[in-house]
Structure 1
Amino acid sequence: MKIKEFKTWDEQVAKLIEHGCKDIKSNEYAIDILQKVNYYRLTAYFLPFRDRETQKYDSSKVSLEKIYGISCFDAELRLLIFKYLEDIELYFRTQVAYHHGNKYGALAYKEATAFNKFHKHNEFLEDIEKELCHRQKSPVYKHHQRKYDGEFPIWVLVEFFTFGMTSKFFADSPIDIQQDIAKNVGIKSTQVRTYLEVAVVLRNYCAHYNR
């Protein structure tokens, strides 16, 4: 299997020029950017400006300064979105814990009967165990191991949920719980399910610095 050879900063700049990015202030300017943003990552921002036939960047439309500016804007946009996604995630964690705990009790999440027919209970329990394993050094985890024999009420357990787990917990909850939560935000439960799924994907994009 052929692997691409390592390129020095200067060679990376030469590669950008070879591919069509000829508008570069200086070699030093380019290297300064490449030392901050990995070459492979930066070149992804050139893709919308690449000619389909030649596979070269359209030199009339791109400059290194412009592409770096788009990259910086993308970073700022991710940070802005992430702030609101955090609010959404924490809100729905609180809601599913409150409504599920109120109707079924502190530990009812351990029983498949506390969910709807679409719920995959074994997978859910495996996800919980995996997250608890990752949090064994947490004061909350240690406290409940010591004082409550390792039992975590749903309103505590949700603090260990990923956003994806929160979204699935909502979608797998009985319809009356979904409707009560949806009523609080003024939309249908089906819309909440869809929006949460989209928010989870978006959150993962932001968390992993995707374009």
Structure 2
Amino acid sequence: MRYTKPALTFEQQIELLENRGLQFPDKDKAAHYLSNISYYRLSAYMLPLKIQGQERFQDGVVFDDVLQLYIFDREFRLLIFDVVEKLEVAFRTQMSYHHSQTSGPYWFEDRNHFRDADFWRKHLEGIDTEVDRAKEVFKDHFFGKYDEHERMPIWMTSEVLSLGLLSKIYRSLAMSKEKRDIARHFGIGHPLVLESWMQSITYVRNICAHHSRLWNRVLTLKPNYMERPAKLWITNKPDNDKVYYFVCCLFYMIRAIDPNTIFNDQLHELLGRYPKIDLAAMGFPKDWDSEPFWK
């Protein structure tokens, strides 16, 4: 099938939406926003406001309803990304610390630390590729001074690796005290759970970094359930492909490394400012905030 839809002016976009039942109390304001937030990007936030299975909007929906949903999602992503950044820095630190204490700064070059030789070789290639791309001053300084080395020590290397590669390296590590200690740092008893959670964190981090819709997304890379938590945890078992369970995982980990975190307060405040948001679409159960976990 050939794509035949024409490009529309901002005014034509408004007219199209108006014909589908969306109300525009202020068309100049709407044209301004459409000139800065593309129609296609906003269309993802229109879907929940339409009659199911139709292009037509539900009765009474105005352009501001779409805009508020978009702005909420943006603020929600920024809140999530702030926590992810702190966890990412902590994860880099843990990955560079434990094995280097027992096996030196170049432990990642030793195949014996990995479950599989193919994974080990693949990750070394990935490390070399990402280090080559890095533009950090400390990289140039290191190789300029220590010309006998092909690679930097892990505490430098880990700073230029993508979180995606770093989480894959953790997943490929052989089971060991060091691997368990990294998981325990985040209050997680079994490394398999941390493997899954870091994979999901990387996935959501990239969603946030690319300004994509997050609030009601069904997560492709969903975090595993934690059966034996070391710290206070949720008592219910929500869908782990919805955002709510991911947020629970995030809060659990950040509270493990920062007991004074205000993430829960920030989340409550954000949701309080947007009372029209459909929390069920995010996977939030009724009375979710009555859980001791969220106190």
- Choose 176-185 or 37-46, whichever is displaced more: 176-185
Alignment partner, residue 28 of structure 2: 28
Q: How far did residue 119 of structure 1 move?
A: 6.4
Structure 2 Cα separation of the partners of residues 68 and 2 of structure 1: 28
Q: Deviations over 1:188-210 (max 9, x none)?
A: 22221221111111111111111
Q: Name the one with the larger helix percent.
A: 1
Q: How far did residue 133 of structure 1 move?
A: 2.4
Alignment partner, residue 143 of structure 2: 145
Counterparts of 1:122-201 in structure 2 under 5 Å? 122-135=121-134, 137-149=135-147, 150-176=150-176, 177-188=178-189, 189-201=191-203
> Are 2:96 and 2:158, in contact at CA under 8 Å, matched by a contact in 1?
yes
Q: Deviations over 1:90-137 (max 9, x none)?
A: 1011001111212222122123222123861232122212212221x3
Q: Deviations over 1:53-104 (max 9, x none)?
A: 43322233x2100110110011011111101000111101100111121222
Structure 2 Cα separation of the partners of residues 153 and 182 of structure 1: 22
Q: How far did residue 172 of structure 1 move?
A: 1.9
> Are 1:171 and 1:178, in contact at CA under 8 Å, matched by a contact in 2?
no
Alignment partner, residue 259 of structure 2: none
- Change beyond 3 A, Cα 1:115–1:53: closer
Alignment partner, residue 68 of structure 1: 67
Name the Cα RMSD after superposition.
1.8
> Are 2:42 and 2:70, in contact at CA under 8 Å, matched by a contact in 1?
yes
Counterparts of 1:3-18 in structure 2 under 5 Å? 3-18=4-19
Structure 2 Cα separation of the partners of residues 172 and 53 of structure 1: 43
Structure 2 Cα separation of the partners of residues 204 and 118 of structure 1: 28
Aligned-residue identity in percent: 30
Q: TM-score with structure 2 length normalisation?
A: 0.66
Q: TM-score with structure 1 length normalisation?
A: 0.91
Higher relative contact order (Cα pairs below 8 Å, separated by 6+ residues)? 1
1:42 and 2:64 equivalent? no
- Change beyond 3 A, Cα 1:118–1:34: farther
Structure 1 Cα separation of the partners of residues 171 and 27 of structure 2: 53
Q: How far did residue 3 of structure 1 move?
A: 4.1
- Change beyond 3 A, Cα 1:171–1:108: same
Structure 2 Cα separation of the partners of residues 92 and 118 of structure 1: 24
> Are 2:51 and 2:57, in contact at CA under 8 Å, matched by a contact in 1?
yes
Structure 2 Cα separation of the partners of residues 141 and 199 of structure 1: 27
Counterparts of 1:102-141 in structure 2 under 5 Å? 102-117=101-116, 120-135=119-134, 137-141=135-139
What one-letter code is carried by the residue in structure 2 that aligns with 1:171? R
> Are 1:85 and 1:199, in contact at CA under 8 Å, matched by a contact in 2?
yes
Alignment partner, residue 93 of structure 1: 92
- Change beyond 3 A, Cα 1:180–1:53: closer
> Are 1:118 and 1:172, in contact at CA under 8 Å, matched by a contact in 2?
no
Alignment partner, residue 56 of structure 1: 56
What one-letter code is carried by the residue in structure 1 that aligns with 2:20? H
